[in-house]
Amino acid sequence: MQTNEKITVSIPVPSQWGIHATISGRPFISGTFIINSITDNKVSGTINFRGIPIPINGDWDETSKQIHFDSPYAAFIGLLTVFDDASISIRHLVFRGLLRMNPHSLHAGESGSWIATTQTNLTGPPIKSDLLPPVGVFLTSNFLHGNGSRF
């Protein structure tokens, strides 16, 4: 393998992500985000915050690692970051971004932030990063895998 070889990371499809959102600085809700397909940079799937999957459609830009998708209740935009844990052969994929509530929502016009995470097996060399994953990685991972803290 060449030392200057570029490592490409893409979104696993299909994939299930744990997602957490805040609205106007208030913790809002956690749920699941499913990407069913990406075809010609078009994303389709569902988002589920209250027990009912809601269809989403949007765009994925592989070059900039940016996703944008809409549901009837909110518009989401985010960037993909990757954190590898070679000691356990896991690649954490993390979307972080902003959202704006649509007119169908009780919170219409309000904005906030979101984080969604999933993980895959690390099959190649780890991607180097000096950053630690944001705390949201652990929150959404616990939600997604049912490993919630018991205090």
Q: Where are the domains of the chain?
A: 15-144
DSSP H or E stretch at residue 137 = helix 135-145
> Which amino acid belongs to residue 58?
G
The answer to whether the CB of 141 falls within 8 A of the CB of 119 is: yes
Tens of pLDDT along 59-109? Answer: 999 999 999 999 999 999 999 998 888 888 888 899 999 999 999 888 899
Query: pLDDT at position 29, please?
Result: 82
C-alpha 79/C-alpha 67 separation (Å) is 6
Amino acid (1-letter code) at residue 129: S
pLDDT for res 133: 62
Compute the distance between CA of residue 46 and CA of residue 16 in angstroms, rounded to an integer: 10
Evaluate if pTM is beyond 0.75.
yes
CATH topology for the 15-144 domain: Lipocalin (2.40.128)
pLDDT of residue 10: 81
Question: What pLDDT score does 137 carry?
Answer: 59
Quick: pLDDT tens for 104-130. Answer: 888 899 999 999 999 889 888 887 655
